[in-house]
Every structure is written in C-alpha cells, then in structure tokens.
Amino acid sequence: MTKKPFFGFGRPKLKHVRLDHLTQPEIKPIPLPARLTVFLHHAAEAKDLGIRSGTPVKTGEKLPYKGIGGYFVSPATGTIQGISENRTYTDRRFLAITIQVEGKDKWDPQFTEAAQSPGPETALDYLAFLPGISDFTSLISRDTPLHTLIINGTDPDLLILTNQLLMNASPEDIKAGLAHLSKVSGIDQVMVVVPPDLRTQAEKTGAEIRVAEPVYPHTLPRLLVPNLLNQPLPANRPLSDLRVGVISAEAVLALKTAFTDKTLPVEKVISVIDKENRVTCVRARIGTPVKDILGALKISTQQGDRIALGGPMTGQGVYSEDMPIMHDTDAIFVQDKRRVIPPSDSPCINCGECVRACPARLPVNMLVRLLENGLYEEAAQRYDLLSCVECGLCSYVCVMHIPVFHYMMLGKHELALREATEEFNG
C-alpha cells in the first residue's frame, strides 16, 4: 500500500459560489405534501417496526424498532400508508415508510416533556437523526470522547449554499444551539469554520472562528479538518482518530429548535440547483418527494434530464422524482439533458489528468484499471483505494468521460460489504 501521511491539493481549483448567487435571499417554505416517505437504512424488514399500514402517527412521534434497537421520528401527522422492503443499487437493504399526511400537524407531546431536562440522555433518546447530520448521537456517545467540535459553516459541494445562508441569517440562534451542543456533548472546544465573507456574522456566535478558502474540494471535512488543525490524518482512518467531530451549522440550529423551542426538528433546508445553475434555498418537511419541491419552484424536467441528490460533484443520480429528501440531503441538482455528459466505456488513455487532480494523490489511472475489472482488494492493497476522499474530481477531469468516481465508490462499497460479511461469518 502507498503510504501518504499528508493530503495534497491538485488542480483544478473550483470556487464555491457566494450568497449573492441565490435567486432570493430568504429560505422559501415548501408546502406540506400529501404524502411523505421516510427511508430507514437501519431497519431492513417490516417486522422490525411496531407499525403497519393504517397505523396513525403524530408529528414528532418516536417510533422504535423492535428487537434491533433504534428508532425513527415521524415527520408529519397522518396514517401509515405503506411499508416496503427495498434494496439500493449497491444491494443494501432498507425500508420505505409512506405516510398519508393530514392537513394539520398534531404534535406528539413526548419530546416536549423530555426537553424540559436537556442533556445527553434526551439527545440519545430523540435526536439520532438531526437535519444536517445523519448520525448525531455517534458524536456524543463515543468510547473515546472527542475533544474538539468543528461547526461547518461552509458547504460540502459546489453550488450548495445551505450552511452559509443559515450562518449569515441566524448567528444568534447558532450561538444558542452551541450552548446546547456543549451541554449534551461535554465538549467545550468548539470552532466555527466559515468562508471569508461570513467571518463577521460568524463572530456573533461567540465561538473561535476559523476561515476556510471557499475552494473545492478544500471544504470536504476530510481535507478541511487536518488543514485547520495542521494535523495529518492517516489514510483510511476516520476523523474521530484526531478526536475531532464535524457538525453542520444547520444541525446546530436544529439543536436550538429541539432544546430551546422544545420541538423536534422535522424540516430540512436544501439548496435547489436548477438547469441554469441558479440556486434557491428551500425549507421542506423531511420525506418530501423531490417532485413537490421542484413543482413549488416551477422547475420542470423532461426525459433525459438528470436529477441528483447532492451537488454537481458528488450528488447521486435518482431515477424518480418520487424520491424523498432525508436528514442529510444537502441539495437537489437538476441538469438539463443537453448538459449531461454520458459516461463512456472508452479505455483509459493514461493522460494523467485524474492523477494531477486527485487531492489524495492516488494513482487514479491505475485504480481504474483494477476497479473496472472488479479487483477491489487489489485496488485497496496496491493503490490505496480507501484513501479516496470522495470528491469526484477524477470524473470531472477525465478526458475520456470514464465514470471514475463511480468506480471508486463502488469499490469502497464492495470492500465494506465483504468486510461486514466476513465479520458476520466470524
């Protein structure tokens, strides 16, 4: 395996847009849709749930999984319309719960009572999935506690403006959320990271401020954190090895909603990128189908257009506008079919563009050769596949339009599956 203690930054350097790129300065509310769908990746079978079709649910109601531990929170009031068992394209099992929504929210009172005594137990009991972070409780329930929390006021991909907008609009609320965060996590050292133009607003949070250049992929946490702390992160090691946790500005605001307003956060702010690359930030109920959000913004699509959940560099294409937004959906990216570059099955010509662009300094040209042929273990052992920071630059620069990033993700996923199977089989 190639050992590389430091990450490097290659070309190209792509600048993030600023808030003046937004079509409107406010967050546009999206009406509650008739139906919501929640995906549960921890519960794989309908029998894991204590609910069935026809069960009434309230907004904010905690619905525990039976036997396997864990829970999910209903984002709306209504009736369970269906529960289906599904598999992702990488063969991962998950459940889809569809809720027929009633017009008006009836809030479940359990959390309001629990939030009278805010603390780690209440967070563990109710806040596993905060908007803006997919697993909040893993930050606060570690065997080896973290010593620093980084509040990310930058955004993870190009054309996403969610965290920057929230930092600009609500620094006092973020300050209130930070007080709760310190209390539930026990971590006092908190840094807020923002692009240069948001420094003044971020200072109102009262936290230590660090400024990150708004250049992609520098804002990806695996690159951002080692740079900020001037500490190398060994390849294939999690950020928690540096005893640092990263949480988005949006998630900190959600904590404020939970513990100051005593209401479970059930909405997500999303950057919607239209076919002309214009960006509108919207606030939608978790589980809202993409089509309802696009409809509210009057964005129409036609056969051949591409829709991705996430930004232009790392977003994952979806095949249906019925796909819902989840706690960790940062953006919806709509690409006109005339701008979609179809992936090619042309052979690599070894031009080296991907190698020069790769911020993890991987021999991407060699990795492609192995991954195309399903040689995942060899790719990890010989060429450090697991050091890939998932930035997508290799696909962006590939002159032959090889779906290099897709191969990287597939390779990593296959290795994780094999490892899980080996563990399961003892």
* The two three-digit tokens of residue 408, written as one number: 């990287």
Shortest separation between residue 394's beta carbon and ligand SF4, angstroms: 3
Nearest distance in Å: CB 121, ligand SF4: 39
Query: Closest distance between ligand SF4 and the C-beta of residue 65, in Å?
Result: 34
**Three-state DSSP class for residue 32:** coil
Please provide the DSSP assignment of 357-423 as one string.
Answer: H-TT---HHHHHHHHHTT-HHHHHHHH-GGG-----HHHHH-TT---HHHHHHHHHHHHHHHHHHHH
Which are the contacts of 20, defined by CB distance < 8 A and separation ≥ 6? Answer: none
Nearer residue to ligand SF4 within complex by CB, 201 or 395: 395
Q: Tell how far CA 141 is from the center of its chain.
A: 20
For ligand SF4, the closer of residues 206 and 352 by Cβ is 352
Smallest distance from the beta carbon of 339 to ligand SF4, in angstroms? 20
Query: From the CB of 39, what's the least distance to ligand SF4, in Å?
Result: 25
Cβ-count burial 122-131 (b if 16+ within 10 Å, e if not): bbeebbbbbb
| Nearer to ligand SF4 (CB atom), residue 8 or residue 186 | 8
Distance CA 75, CA 376 (A): 39
CB 229, CB 211: distance < 8 Å = no
How far apart, in whole angstroms, are the C-alpha atoms of residue 413 and residue 363?
Answer: 19
Cβ proximity to ligand SF4: between 122 and 387 the closer is 387
**What are φ and ψ of residue 160, in 5° steps?**
-95, 135
- The two tokens of residue 115 are 């939030």
Smallest distance, ligand SF4 to C-beta of residue 400, A: 4
CB of 154 to ligand SF4, least distance (A): 18
The number of residues in the chain equals: 426
Residue closer to ligand SF4, measured from CB, 276 or 345: 345
Taking the complex as a whole, how short is the minimal distance between the CB of residue 313 and ligand SF4, in angstroms? Answer: 9
Taking phi over 0 as left and psi of -120 to 50 as alpha, with beta for the rest, 418 belongs to: alpha
3 state SS of 117: coil
- How near is the Cβ of 350 to ligand SF4 at its closest, in Å? 5
Which of residues 249 and 408 has its CB atom nearest to ligand SF4 in the complex?
Answer: 408
Closest separation between CB of residue 241 and ligand SF4, Å? 18
Which one, 333 or 396, has the nearer CB to ligand SF4? 396
Q: Quick one: 30 or 364, whose CB is closer to ligand SF4?
A: 364
The DSSP line for 253-320 is HHHHHHHTS-----EEEEEEE-TT--EEEEEEETT-BHHHHHHHTT----TT-EEEES-TTTPEEES-
| Residue closer to ligand SF4, measured from CB, 340 or 351 | 351
Could you give the 3-state DSSP secondary structure of residue 328?
coil
Q: How far apart are CA 155 and CA 250, in angstroms?
A: 10
| Closest CB to ligand SF4 among residues 96, 410 | 410
Binding site for ligand SF4 (CB under 6 A): 348-354, 357-360, 362, 364-365, 368, 388-394, 397-400, 402, 404-405, 408
Please, are residues 19 and 25 in contact by the beta-carbon 8 Å criterion? yes
Q: What span, in angstroms and rounded, lies between the C-alpha atoms of 227 and 278?
A: 30
Q: Closer to ligand SF4 at the Cβ: 9 or 94?
A: 9
- Residue 361 Cβ vs ligand SF4, minimum distance, rounded to whole Å: 8
Report the alpha-carbon distance of residue 16 to residue 313 in Å, rounded: 12
Closest CA relative to residue 2, chosen from 421, 413, 382: 382
